Amino acid sequence: MTKRPKATILDIARAAGVSKSTVSLVLQGSDLVRPDTADRVRKAIEDVGYVYNRGAANLRKAHSNVIGMVVNDLTNPFYAELAVGMERAFQSAGVVPFIANTGENPVRQEEVLKSMLEQGAAGLIVSPARGTPPDAFRRIEATGVPIVFAMRRMPDSRIPVVAPDNRRGAALAARHLLGKGHSRIAFFGGSSDLVVYQERLGGFREACREYGLHDSDVQVFESDTSRKGGMTCIDLALASETPPTAALCFNDAVAFGAMLGLRRHGLEPGRDFAVVGFDDVVEAQHYVPSLTSVAVDTAGLGERAAHIVLKMIQSRTTSAENHIGAVNLVVRESCGPDRNSARGV
């Protein structure tokens, strides 16, 4: 049996009665070709059995259609929701996203970024791992590949950031707890080497000062940003000389851990100790008790990050404006009753 020769662009051009450049424009999805001509070319493509080699085409283009998404912790539901938002926007744009989880490991992050650049990624969206060196992204910036930070930023970096209004969100949560009559409140989770931690703790302390609390009156417990970290925080808080009665947690994962830890101590979240999270992941409304949390449009932020990097690629630039997303407090059962009314205030 004789093997059929592989169809070429020239074969399509002959079958459709057009030039090779017109065929190329149709294959690239250009709107410069008249609709009836484009239809004729697409029919010819089917008739001759041409298979478009996108990989080879990418080598001829200024950039590929691949964008890297590098996430610090995909086991956290928040980052999974963020990635879904990014992927949704990329799919609409006909872009192939490659996602990698660094597990908060800067060494793994460096390996992943190097590999994506070697594969010709047209752009990158990165949520930097904890402990990332300040100069970690300078080499990427020097290559001219567009990069956007999602959720986390690096100190003194000019790379555009897409993130929620961390300071305002934390202040909203603290004001709610203080307004319910809690005078001994704490901040659980995160670490001081993260800019997002500094922003959230800063907003929390700002609200406490409004209610007459000095910084020394506010207990702060650093930990991993995970359920395990939340359990560690509640253990330390309850063992302190003057245990707090409420806490704002760095994120929902820490809040879930804090509530698990409370039950280990025979205490009921909400009734005996008020807990507020940050991010408002889907699980928050279904948890028992349901978790009060600072709501972030997670998928929307993911989509915004994707649109920004796509625009940077199209404009052949490495600069863009930061985007700070709106937040609001969703009050549920985990912050418990109003202590003021219980005291007859």
For helices 9-16 and 20-27, give the axis angle rounded to 10 degrees.
Answer: 110
Which of 29-38, 85-94, 99-108, 166-175 comes out lowest in average pLDDT? 29-38
Residues 103-128, mean pLDDT to the nearest whole number: 92
The residues that bridge with 104 in the sheet, in sequence order, are: none
pLDDT, tens digit (0-9, with 9 covering 90-100), for 242-269:
999 999 999 999 999 999 999 999 999 9
pLDDT, tens digit (0-9, with 9 covering 90-100), for 323-334:
999 999 999 999
| Averaged confidence pLDDT in the chain | 90
Contacts of 111 by beta carbon, 8 Å cutoff, 6+ apart: none
Q: Is the confidence at residue 3, as pLDDT, over 80?
A: no
pLDDT confidence of residue 52:
61
* Domains by residue range for the chain, with CATH: 9-52 (1.10.260.40), 66-164+298-326 (3.40.50.2300), 166-297+329-342 (3.40.50.2300)
pLDDT, tens digit (0-9, with 9 covering 90-100), for 136-177:
998 888 888 999 999 999 988 899 999 999 999 999 999 999
pTM > 0.85: yes or no: no
The residues that bridge with 101 in the sheet, in sequence order, are: 71
Q: Is the dihedral of CA 217, 221, 225, 226 positive or negative?
A: negative
How many CA atoms, within 13 angstroms, populate the side-chain half-sphere of residue 322? Answer: 14
By CB atoms closer than 10 A (0-12, 13-18, 19+), residue 63 is middle
How many CA atoms, within 13 angstroms, populate the side-chain half-sphere of residue 260? Answer: 14
Residues 104-121, mean pLDDT to the nearest whole number: 91
Nearest to 137, CA basis, from 152, 126, 121: 126
Residues 208-217, mean pLDDT to the nearest whole number: 92
Residues 208-223, mean pLDDT to the nearest whole number: 94
Better pLDDT: 93 or 169:
169
Q: Is the confidence at residue 71, as pLDDT, over 80?
A: yes
Q: Are 296 and 279 in contact (CB under 8 A)?
A: yes
